[in-house]
Structure 1
Amino acid sequence: MSKPDVTFPAWDAGREIVLDPGSPEPLYFQVSRQLHAAIEDGRLPAGARLDNEVDLAARLRLSRPTIRQAIQTLVNQGLLVRRRGVGTQVVRTKVARPLRLSSLFDDLAGLGGKPESAVLVNRVEEAGADVAELLEAPGLTHVRRLKRLRSADGEPLALMNNYLPDGLVDPGDDELRERGLYQLLRSAGVRLHAAEQNIGARLATEEDAELLQEEPGAALLTMRRTTYDDTGRVVEYGWHVYRASRYTFNLSLTNGPQ
C-alpha cells in the first residue's frame, strides 16, 4: 500500500525570491542561493515539491534554462531530487559526519538520530594472503567478516564491510544491531588509538542501489579505514559506501608551518 502524500504549506517562489538583474551574481545563482536558504531554514521542508520549471520561470520572469540551471545546482548538491511522475522534491538534510575515531553508530546517536543496523554477514572465515596483508598480520589464519546496512530513522545511509582478527570480539547479530562496532571493541578491552582513512567516490552497483534505495549508477561516497590499538596492532579494516545524497564528511584543517 502506498503512503499518502504529505501536504506542506505553500511556498510562493514569486514572493519569496528577490532578484537583482544589476548584480554581478548570475540570475540562476541568485535563484539557487535563495532556494538553498529556504531549504536550510525549513521554509521548504523535506518532501516539499517545487513548482515545475515552466511555472517557476513564469513567476520569476526568467527563462526556463535559467531555472533549470538553478535547480540542477541544488540537485548536484543533494538538496533536491527529480522523480519521474512526482516532480522536483526537497530531500532530507545530509548527515554531516566529522572525521574522528568513532563509528557511524556513535555519530548518528550523538546527532539525535535513531541508528539501526541490518546484519547481512557475521561469520568467521579463512584469511587469505590479501586479507592478512590488510590487517598487517602475515600469520593470520582466520578473520571475523562483517557486513551491515546502517540506517537512521528508517532510511538507509551506508553499507559497511569489516574484517577483524578472529578472537578479538565475538558479537552476536543482536549486539551488532544494537551497538556500534567501536563500542563492542572498547567493551572487549581494546584500546583504540589511531586510524588511517581514505575517502573516495564511485557509482552504485545493482546491489548497492537495491540496499541503499538509490538508482544504479548513483554517486556514492567510499571510505577505507585501518584502525590500530595502543600497541600498534591492526584491530579492524573497513570498507564502506555511503549515499552521497544523504551523507558528507567534515574535515578540520589547520595552518601548517610557514
Structure 2
Amino acid sequence: MTKKYQPDIVLDREASAPLHAQISAPIKRAIVEGALRPGTRIENEIALAKRLQVSRFTARQAIQTLVEAGLLQRRRGVGTVVAPQPHLQLIQLPSLHEEIQESGHESTTEILQYNHRRATEAIAKQLGIEAEASVVELERLRRRDGEPVAILYNWLPAALAPSREELETFGLYELLRKNGVAPTSTRQSVGAERPDKREARLLAISMRDPVLTIDRTAFGADGRIVEWGFHIYRADMYRYQSTVVAQS
C-alpha cells in the first residue's frame, strides 16, 4: 500500500490564524507548487488530529477547505487524495469590476461606506480573527455602462484593506493581488431574495423584482481568510456561472 503523505506542519497556537488554516496552508502550497502529485493519498483526519494534537473537527475543517477548493478529493475505499486536475485557475479570481471590463463594458464604482471599526463577534468569526480586531467595512454600488448592477458589502482585516480612493478605480480582488494577498479560493453560497426598499432604490428596480445574493469567504494561498462579502445583484443584469466536477 502506498504510504500516505504526512504534511510537515508546525502550529503556532498563539497566532491569530485559525489552526485549521495553519494545517491546510502547507498542503495547499505543496499541491500548487507541484510537490504533491495527483492521486497522492493524504493522511486521514484521525491520524492528522492525533499527530498535531488538535480536535478531529479542526483536522476535518482543514481537509474540507481543500476539498471545496478542488485541490483534494475524497474517494470511497481509498481516502483523501490530491485531485487529478487541481483547479489552479483559482489562483487568480476576478472581481466584478474586472468581469464587466473584460466583457467590453464600462465599470464604475460608488463608495457608499468606507468605515474603520472593531470586529464584532460575528464579523470576527467570519474572518477567523479575534473580536475587537481592526477591520474595514465596505459598501459599494457597482455600475455597468452607468446602470446599477450590484451592491457589494465586504469586511476585511484593516491591514489588508485598500484605500477608499483605490476602490473608486479598481476592483477589490485586483487591489489585493497588487498588495500580495491574492485570493486563491472561495467558499460561497448563492440565493435569491426580494430587495428591501433601499436596495431596490439603489439598484433602480422594484421591490417585487428578485435579486441574486452571494455570501462569499475568500482565502489566500496561506489558507487565511482574506475577506468576507455579501453581494446583491440585479437578476436581469447578472448571471452566476460555476463548473462542477464529479469526483471519481
Normalised TM-score (structure 2) = 0.61
The separation in 2 between residues aligned to 1:127 and 1:151, in whole angstroms, is 29
Q: 1:256 to 1:135 in 2, by over 3 A?
A: same
Partner residue of 1:187? 178
| 1:113–1:152 contact (8 Å) kept in structure 2 | yes
Q: Give the letter aligned to residue 194 of structure 2.
A: L
Q: Distance in 1 between matches of 2:177 and 2:138?
A: 17
Give the match's secondary structure for 1:247.
coil
* 1:216 positional shift: 1.2
1:248 match: secondary structure:
coil
- Cα deviation for residue 121 of structure 1 reads 0.5
CA deviation profile, 1:92-144 (whole Å, cap 9, x unmatched): xxxxxxx9822100111111110010100112111111100010113551210
Structure 2 counterpart SS, 1:137: coil
* Pair 1:243 & 2:234 matched: yes
The amino acid of 2:94's aligned partner reads S
Q: What pairs with 1:130-141 in structure 2 (closer than 5 Å)?
A: 130-139=122-131, 141=133
d(CA) in 2 for partners of 1:150, 1:137: 28
Task: Indicate yes or no: 2:193 matched with 1:175.
Answer: no
Residue correspondence of structure 1 range 1-258 to structure 2 within 5 A: 101-139=93-131, 141-172=133-164, 174-257=165-248
Name the % identity.
34
Q: Return the alpha-carbon distance in structure 1 between the equivalents of residues 120 and 235 of structure 2.
A: 32
Q: What SS does structure 1 have at the residue aligned with 2:123? A: helix
The structural deviation recorded for 1:256 is 3.5
RMSD: 1.6
> Is the 2:101–2:107 contact (alpha carbons within 8 Å) kept by the matching residues of 1?
yes
Deviation at 1:186, TM superposition (A): 1.0
The residue matched to 1:210 in structure 2 has which SS? helix
Provide, for residues 225-258 of structure 1, a one-character-per-residue CA deviation record: whole Å limited to 9, x for no partner: 101111111110000000112111112233432x
C-alpha distance in structure 2 between counterparts of 1:213 and 1:204, whole Å: 11
Q: Aligned with 1:143: secondary structure?
A: strand
SS across alignment from 2:97: helix
SS at match of 1:226: strand
For 1:105 and 1:242, locate their aligned partners in 2 and report how far apart those are by CA, in whole Å: 13
Q: Deviations over 1:1-23 (max 9, x none)?
A: xxxxxxxxxxxxxxxxxxxxxxx
Counterpart residue type for residue 184 of structure 1: L
The structure whose Rg is larger is 1
Question: Are 1:205 and 1:217, in contact at CA under 8 Å, matched by a contact in 2?
Answer: no
Query: Which structure carries more relative contact order (alpha carbon 8 Å, separation 6+)?
Result: 2
Unaligned runs of 5+ in 2: 1-89
TM-score w.r.t. length of structure 1: 0.58
Deviations 1:50-73, CA, capped at 9 Å, x for gaps: xxxxxxxxxxxxxxxxxxxxxxxx
